[in-house]
């Protein structure tokens, strides 16, 4: 059976606004109302028809669905539901639209065409190794990558120069096709245009219609002072180009800091082990430790320091990333026992040992005293 167009029933243009549609309905409703026509069967049918049309077109959601799908939207929405057109179903299309938007990422009953947004290019990762000195000072460096970039021949459109694109015949430009599943109408990405809504008449020979080709690319990268292992630098729009002119993705540079010959790092704190002669450890003194800033730090060794003790130099560590100030430098003292003695040195040490009373090294004295107690000696 042929369905009469709702706009024709209300005698309005398809571009009519809500007020015009309402006014037209009131005029026709008064004309065909059963109380005015004395129960005329034809007038009663006409009254029901214009009422049904008005119930659809007065609601923006229902009107959008009707504009897009015609009476098919009306029929599918009511399958298995009792009848009466859109009447008694207020909010029904809005709720279904919310469900489809949740499941498929967009409304299945939208009024603005279902064409998918252009899919941006993929994000890329690049691993860059730097030294601890470079992490301390920061640096400007160049990297070379192989990346999909916009095709120069077609300027990223994917179409052969001099040709264009046309509306997809499968989805008629919507980017999606509809399928009936029970009493639901499901929209899926169009298999012909892959959601673009358009197809290329003559694909570019250089990129085969993709709009992008692989090519080498040189990029300048600024590494700020204070970066650490795993620090990530994002270069917006320097990733893979999107297909057919879609936006490019981003490039993420992951930094890896090489081990240093002297220093170890924990956040902004630098650690180093400094060997100290046993005479300096006993008598105290000054040692020099080079810093990553190029200066020499004088570290005061207190009298009688023990091996493994730590001395902290404030502000001599790594710079704070994107902030102010520096961390600390921590020196761990390793007392070194001499292994090569001259005859004179041995003689002096022998003389020193003869003068020992046990009070010079309280820790060893206490330790051996405990051993004697255990042995009962």
Query: Is the pLDDT confidence value at 76 over 70?
Result: no
From the CB of residue 252, how many other CB atoms can be counted at a distance below 10 Å? 16
The angle formed by the CA atoms of residues 311, 317 and 319, to the nearest 5 degrees, is 160
How would you write 111-172 as a 3-class SS string?
A: CCCCCCCCCCCCCEEEEEEECHHHHHHCEEEEEEEEEEEECCCCCCCCECCCCCEEECCCCC
**Percent of the residues in the chain that have a pLDDT greater than 90, as a whole number:** 35
Mean pLDDT of the chain: 80
pLDDT at 246: 79
**Nearest alpha carbon to residue 205 among 252, 153, 250:** 153
Q: Which of 85-89, 327-331, 367-371 has the lowest mean pLDDT?
A: 85-89
> E strands, 240-328, where?
251-257, 264-266, 269-277, 285-290, 296-301, 310-313
CATH architecture group of domain 273-374: Sandwich (2.60)
pLDDT at 373: 65
**Nearest alpha carbon to residue 121 among 232, 231, 248, 301:** 248
Q: Give 272-298 pLDDT, tens digit per residue.
A: 999 999 899 999 999 999 889 888 999
The pTM of the whole model exceeds 0.85:
no
Q: What mean pLDDT is predicted for residues 328-350?
A: 93
pLDDT at 259: 94
Annotated binding site for Zn(2+): 151, 154, 168, 171, 190, 193, 204, 207
Give the C-alpha separation, 205 to 377, whole Å.
Answer: 97
Q: Work out the angle between the directed axes of helices 71-78 and 92-104 (0-180°, nearest 10).
A: 90
From the CB of residue 107, how many other CB atoms can be counted at a distance below 10 Å? 22
CATH architecture group of domain 117-159+210-258: Sandwich (2.60)
Which residues, in sequence order, are bridge partners of residue 166? 199
pLDDT band at 39 (very low <50, low <70, confident <90, very high): low
Q: Which of 51-55, 293-297, 373-377 has the lowest mean pLDDT?
A: 373-377
Give the C-alpha separation, 82 to 351, whole Å.
Answer: 114
Contact 238, 251 (CB under 8 A): yes
Query: Is the pLDDT confidence value at 88 over 50?
Result: no
Better pLDDT: 80 or 5:
5
**Nearest alpha carbon to residue 292 among 180, 133, 174, 141:** 133
Of 7-21, 153-167, 273-287, 356-370, which has the strongest mean pLDDT?
273-287
In angstroms, how far apart are the furthest CA atoms of the chain? 139
Q: Give 258-268 pLDDT, tens digit per residue.
A: 999 999 999 99
pLDDT at 332: 95
Q: Which of 206-210, 237-241, 268-272 has the lowest mean pLDDT?
A: 206-210
Give, rounded to a whole angstrom, the gap between the first and last alpha carbons of the chain: 118
pLDDT at 240: 87
pLDDT band at 60 (very low <50, low <70, confident <90, very high): confident
Class of domain 165-200: mainly beta
Query: Is the pLDDT confidence value at 124 over 70?
Result: yes
Domain 6-104 in CATH 1.10.287.110? yes
Annotated binding site: 151, 154, 168, 171, 190, 193, 204, 207
pLDDT at 1: 42
For residue 270, what is the DSSP state? E
pLDDT band at 367 (very low <50, low <70, confident <90, very high): low
| Residue 234 main-chain phi, psi, to 5 deg | -105, 125
Query: Cα-Cα-Cα-Cα dihedral of 237, 240, 244, 245, to 10°?
Result: 10
**Percent of the residues in the chain that have a pLDDT greater than 70, as a whole number:** 80
pLDDT at 221: 95
Query: Is the pLDDT confidence value at 84 over 50?
Result: no
Same fold for the pair 117-159+210-258 and 273-374:
yes
Q: Where are the domains of the chain?
A: 6-104, 117-159+210-258, 165-200, 273-374
Query: Is the pLDDT confidence value at 322 over 90?
Result: no
Q: Give 63-72 pLDDT, tens digit per residue.
A: 888 887 777 6
For residue 110, what is the DSSP state? -
Contact 199, 173 (CB under 8 A): no
* Residue 158 zone, left/alpha/beta (φ > 0; ψ -120 to 50; rest): left
Give the C-alpha separation, 151 to 168, whole Å.
Answer: 23
Instruction: Determine whether 340 is exposed, middle or buried from the number of CB atoms within 10 Å of its CB (0-12, 13-18, 19+).
Output: exposed
Query: Is the pLDDT confidence value at 368 over 90?
Result: no
DSSP for 305-344 reads PPTT-EEEETT-SPBPTTSSSB--EEEEEEEEPPS---HH
Query: Is the pLDDT confidence value at 109 over 70?
Result: no
Q: What mean pLDDT is predicted for residues 126-141?
A: 95
pLDDT at 92: 38
């Amino acid at each position: 059976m042929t369905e009469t167009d709702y706009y024709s029933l209300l005698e309005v243009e398809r571009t009519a606004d809500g007020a015009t549609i309402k006014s037209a309905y009131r005029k026709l409703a008064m004309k065909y109302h059963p109380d005015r026509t004395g129960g005329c069967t034809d007038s009663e049918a006409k009254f029901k028809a214009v009422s049904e049309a008005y119930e659809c077109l007065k609601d923006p959601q229902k009107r959008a669905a009707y504009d897009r799908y015609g009476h098919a939207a009306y029929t599918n929405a009511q399958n298995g539901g009792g009848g009466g057109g859109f009447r008694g179903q207020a909010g029904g299309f809005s709720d279904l639209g919310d469900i489809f938007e949740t499941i498929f990422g967009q409304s299945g009953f939208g009024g603005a065409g279902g064409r998918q947004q252009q899919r941006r290019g993929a994000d890329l990762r690049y691993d860059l190794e730097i030294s601890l000195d470079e992490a301390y000072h920061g640096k400007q460096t160049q990297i070379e990558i192989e990346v999909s970039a916009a095709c120069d021949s077609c300027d990223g459109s994917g179409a052969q120069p001099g040709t264009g694109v046309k509306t997809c015949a499968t989805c008629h430009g919507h980017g999606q096709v509809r399928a009936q599943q029970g009493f639901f109408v499901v929209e899926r990405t169009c298999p012909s245009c892959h959601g673009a809504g358009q197809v290329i008449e003559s694909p570019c020979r250089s990129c085969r219609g993709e709009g992008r080709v692989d090519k080498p690319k040189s990029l300048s990268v600024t590494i700020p002072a204070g970066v650490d292992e795993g620090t990530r630098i994002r270069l917006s729009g320097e990733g893979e180009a999107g297909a057919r002119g879609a936006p490019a993705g981003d490039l993420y540079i992951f930094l890896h800091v090489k081990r240093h010959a002297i220093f170890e790092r924990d956040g902004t704190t630098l650690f180093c082990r400094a060997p100290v002669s046993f005479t300096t450890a006993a008598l105290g003194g000054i040692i020099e430790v080079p810093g990553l800033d190029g200066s020499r730090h004088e570290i005061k060794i207190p009298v009688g320091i023990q091996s493994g003790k730590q001395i902290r130099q404030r502000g001599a560590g790594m710079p704070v990333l994107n902030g102010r100030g520096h961390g600390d430098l921590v020196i761990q003292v390793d007392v070194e026992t001499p292994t090569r003695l001259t005859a004179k040195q041995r003689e002096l040490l022998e003389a020193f040992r003869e003068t020992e009373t046990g009070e010079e090294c309280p820790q060893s004295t206490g330790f051996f005293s405990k051993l004697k107690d255990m042995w009962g000696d």
